[in-house]
A and B are shown apart, each in its own frame.
Chain A
């Protein structure tokens, strides 16, 4: 069973389009995240959501919006895609009440904007 699954794995789209990346976790974790990995492999947190509060990295453009239909899902919606949005996006989850445990990552979605 995949602990954190995100779809699609690859996404190629044109500038200006709106797209979504889905993420689901079956670990019963109460906190989910989105991270962006740029072309230099640098990973940076975009959002942290613990089903009560959404914390946004203030450097993230408001074209990016996470949506959580329930505790097990945190989808990422991106409006008006730009070339600079091309990156690998990782969903992750962890147990906020157990800070000594690791975050589990999905396999990543490679987004290419052309």
Chain B
């Protein structure tokens, strides 16, 4: 079974500082995908960045980058130059097989418990 661990329930960061949100994962699959989502107080789930298990380079999307260390099974999200609007819940997730007790399989996302990031002015 897949497992995602986010060890920081909450973080306070000064505006304009860089912030690293931790994520470690556990899976027996060789091929998998790692995602980060942002959930602001309004509640919607916003996709931020993706890293494939076979990608050799760390993913980047604007101010977001992913520090992918496969041997350590970590996929930390780095937000550069944080802004007040970055205050939100952040979820790390892994896409992979979801199995039923009958043995059928499909794919789905397994989420970590999230990190509540608060950017202070």
Q: Chain B interface: which of A16-24, A70-78, A79-87, A103-111?
A: A103-111
Interface string of B27-63 (1 = CB under 8 A from A): 0000101010101000111010010100000000000
Q: Does A25 contact B (CB under 8 A)?
A: no
Report the minimal beta-carbon distance from B119 to chain A, rounded to whole angstroms: 18
Residues of A within 8 A of B89 (CB): 41
Please tell me if the beta carbons of B106 and A55 are within 8 angstroms of each other in the complex: yes
Size of chain A's interface in residues, with CB distance under 8 A?
A: 32
For A52, the closest partner residue in chain B by CB is B106
Please tell me if the beta carbons of B106 and A31 are within 8 angstroms of each other in the complex: yes
Please tell me if the beta carbons of B113 and A40 are within 8 angstroms of each other in the complex: yes
Residues of A within 8 A of B45 (CB): 90, 92, 105, 108
Report the minimal beta-carbon distance from A62 to chain B, rounded to whole angstroms: 13
Please tell me if the beta carbons of B111 and A58 are within 8 angstroms of each other in the complex: no
* Interface SS of B by simple majority: strand
Task: Contacts A43-B91, A88-B43, A96-B106 given; indicate if A57 touches B113 (C-beta within 8 A).
Answer: no
Residues of A within 8 A of B50 (CB): 100-102
Report the minimal beta-carbon distance from B111 to chain A, rounded to whole angstroms: 4
For B100, the closest partner residue in chain A by CB is A55
Please tell me if the beta carbons of A41 and B47 are within 8 angstroms of each other in the complex: no
CB neighbors of A among B76-99 (8 A): 89, 91, 93, 95, 98-99
Task: Contacts A55-B99, A102-B47 given; indicate if A42 touches B111 (C-beta within 8 A).
Answer: yes
Please tell me if the beta carbons of B33 and A42 are within 8 angstroms of each other in the complex: no
Please tell me if the beta carbons of A100 and B33 are within 8 angstroms of each other in the complex: yes
CB neighbors of A among B92-121 (8 A): 93, 95, 98-101, 104-111, 113-114
Complex CA–CA separation, A57 to B47 (angstroms):
23
Residues of B within 8 A of A103 (CB): 35, 47, 95, 109
**18 examples of A-B residue contacts, CB within 8 angstroms:** A31-B107, A41-B113, A41-B114, A43-B114, A45-B98, A48-B98, A48-B108, A49-B106, A56-B100, A99-B95, A99-B107, A100-B52, A102-B35, A103-B47, A103-B109, A105-B44, A107-B44, A110-B43
Chain A residues close to B by CB (< 8 Å): 31, 33, 35, 40-45, 48-50, 53, 55-58, 88, 90, 92, 94, 96, 99-105, 107-108, 110
